Amino acid sequence: MTYLIDRRLQGKNKSAVNRERFLRRYKAQIKDAVGRAIKGRSITDIENGEKVSIPVKDVNEPTFGHAHGGVWEVVNPGNQEYQRGDQINRPKGGGGAGRGKAGNSDQTTEDDFIFELSREEFMNYFFEDLELPHMVKTQLTATTEFKNQRAGYNMSGTPSNIHVLRSLRGALGRRIAVGGSSRKRVIEAERELEDLLAEGLPLQDPRVVELKKLIHHLHTRLLAIPFIDPFDLRYTNRIKVPKPMTQAVMFCIMDVSGSMDETRKDTAKRFFILLYLFLKRVYDKIEVVFIRHHTAAAEVDENEFFHSRESGGTVVSSALHLLNKIIDERYGAGSWNSYVAQASDGDNWDNDSMLCRQLLVNTIMPKVQYYTYVEITDGPPQNLWEQYAQVPEYHPNFAMQKIVTPADIYPVFRELFKKQPKS
């Protein structure tokens, strides 16, 4: 019988196993609680932990009890109201500790089981159902892929990994080393025997007979050396080395023109903060490129993308031209998965909106895996939306959503990046 003893340290959390079992068992209730908690917090606080309450009815354990079956006769001392044979109505109210409020038997409450999710647990549930859609070249996961690579030879292994040439070389070297002294003694004895026979000694001479016995004994010893021994076997050794994975790049394009007031810019920033947090947490092999545009587009760093106050007119095609240029120059190789997320209020020159649609259909969409457009407006769709609405007819990997208030950010985000059904 084999006993496995888990000696891994659990740090301060001594009940890690029980906690993981609890989280698995009540996964559905916890996800609902996380969804309710998200509605009441801002995007900047999304990475903190959360206190989660689960209705007590969902955590009740089944129990066995003794039922009062059959016919019972109850004696109530001091009874002045009932006589034998009267039927007594069931008392009102649920009964039971903690089920009712003091002083009011008609109202009942339900005690909730409250516990606190850690930051890591909260973020795991927050991003559990999300992924980058249409990852057709390769799947990006949190684990590193490995490939087998030859690394010399081992003295043990499976028969299929035997290296024949190396094993025969070892066997030959062993036979030479083990039989060297006997082989040298045979040569000396044969020469001595030839010299004695050349002197004319008869075959019955004791010295001749002794040399023949010695030569026969040495040949027997040499023949007893095995041709190959288990010690000689060599097996090809293979080790796992990290395998270069196909990489992905996310382009974040934000409209900072004058029509994008501070409220809309703040909504766009919140959406991109959520997207950036999602990408950095879930995917290791990914790059993020930030592009801001008004009448002209520019590639900026993370700090300038979220905090710069530069503004101007609106020419959306400038951002698409820059996007196409960056893809061709830096991410045009077949090993890159390119994704684009664009946020704008949709206000653009009519002729430029048509140009944007043509750029997407003919140039950009064939180069990217997924393109998302978020329009931030509380009014009717703008001209850019009307032109973009024609793109899915040519490319199904194009998605559009509308954000009216900050409360729409998270539902829109989940809709754009929800896991696709396996085909």
Say whether pLDDT at 421 is over 50: yes
Could you tell me if 294 and 310 are in contact, meaning their C-beta atoms sit under 8 angstroms apart? yes
The more confident residue out of 126 and 290 is 290
- Distance between CA atoms of residues 323 and 331, nearest Å: 10
Helix (H) or strand (E) holding 185: helix 180-198
**Strand 370-376 versus strand 336-344 pairing type:** parallel
User: Among 62, 61, 63, 68, which Cα is nearest to 113's?
Assistant: 61
Q: Give CB contacts under 8 A, 24+ apart, made by 165-171.
A: 166/234, 167/228, 167/232, 167/233, 167/234, 168/228, 168/232, 170/231, 170/232, 170/233, 170/234, 171/227, 171/228, 171/229, 171/232
Sign, CA dihedral 217-222-226-227, equals: negative
Share of the chain above pLDDT 90, in %: 14
> What SS3 state is found at 116?
strand
* pLDDT (average), residues 12-18: 60
What does the pLDDT read at residue 98? Answer: 41
Q: How many CB atoms are located within 10 Å of the residue 257 CB?
A: 20
The more confident residue out of 246 and 346 is 346
Task: For 86-103, write each residue's pLDDT tens digit.
Answer: 777 765 554 444 444 444
Could you tell me if 47 and 126 are in contact, meaning their C-beta atoms sit under 8 angstroms apart? no
The tokens for 62 are 């089944």
Task: For 171-223, write each residue's pLDDT tens digit.
Answer: 888 888 888 888 888 888 888 888 888 888 888 888 888 888 888 888 888 88
Query: Measuring CA to CA, how many Å separate 373 from each of 358, 387, 403, 412?
Result: 15, 12, 11, 11
The tokens for 397 are 């990997």
- Give me the residue label for tokens 């249409």: 134
Q: What is the DSSP letter of 63?
A: -
Q: How many residues in total does the chain contain? A: 423
Q: pLDDT category, 373, cuts 50, 70, 90? A: very high
DSSP letters, 330-384, are: HS-STTEEEEEEEEE-----HHHHHHHHHHIIIIIGGG-SEEEEEEE-SSS--HH
What does the pLDDT read at residue 355? Answer: 93
Task: For 139-161, write each residue's pLDDT tens digit.
Answer: 333 345 677 777 888 888 888 88
- Distance between CA atoms of residues 343 and 376, nearest Å: 7
Task: For 290-335, write each residue's pLDDT tens digit.
Answer: 999 988 899 998 888 877 777 778 889 999 999 999 999 888 756 6
Q: Which of 39-48, 116-125, 210-219, 337-346 has the lowest mean pLDDT?
A: 39-48
- Distance between CA atoms of residues 337 and 328, nearest Å: 13
**pTM of this prediction?**
0.51
> What SS3 state is found at 130?
strand
User: CA angle 363-366-371, nearest 5°?
Assistant: 95
